[in-house]
């Protein structure tokens, strides 16, 4: 998990996907805030291929998920994976998370 987040571009991808008001890509009819590779590539100023490779690493680490909508795959954060990452970090730092 942490290795997946060690790359600055992947960290930026997570930040973009985690923002509550992401750039709309025009292929998000439900308005749920997920983003396609094209929108992410434009926002980061990198190629679609590079974004796809970074998303594959993040998906393999359980931090993002993709959902096909027609010809496009929309990506969003995997809340369970992010929660597990935060819990692991707290464990490493010997910090207790407040209960809900």
Strands 72-77 and 64-69: antiparallel
CA–CA distance, 44 with 84 (Å, rounded to integer): 26
Q: How far is CA 49 from the centre of its chain?
A: 16
90, 97 Cβ separation under 8 angstroms? yes
Give domain status of residue 71, yes or no: yes
pLDDT digits (tens, 9 = 90+) for 42-72: 999 999 999 999 999 999 999 999 999 888 8
- Structural domain total, the chain: 1
Has residue 97 got a pLDDT over 90?
Answer: no
Mean pLDDT of 13-40: 71
Mean pLDDT across the chain, nearest whole number? 84
Per-residue pLDDT, 59:
95
pLDDT digits (tens, 9 = 90+) for 71-95: 888 999 998 988 888 888 888 888 7
Confidence of residue 25 (pLDDT cuts 50, 70, 90): low
pTM assigned to the model: 0.78
User: Residue 28 belongs to what domain range?
Assistant: 2-93
CATH code for position 67? 1.10.10.10
């Amino acid at each position: 998990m942490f290795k997946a987040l060690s790359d600055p571009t992947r960290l930026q991808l997570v930040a973009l996907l985690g923002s509550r008001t992401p750039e709309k890509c025009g292929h998000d009819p439900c308005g749920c805030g997920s983003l396609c590779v094209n929108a992410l590539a434009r926002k980061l100023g990198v190629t679609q291929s590079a974004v796809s490779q970074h998303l594959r690493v993040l998906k393999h680490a359980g931090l993002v998920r993709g959902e096909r909508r027609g010809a496009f795959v929309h990506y969003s954060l995997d809340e369970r994976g992010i929660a597990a990452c935060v819990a692991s970090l707290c464990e490493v730092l010997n910090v207790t998370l407040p209960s809900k």
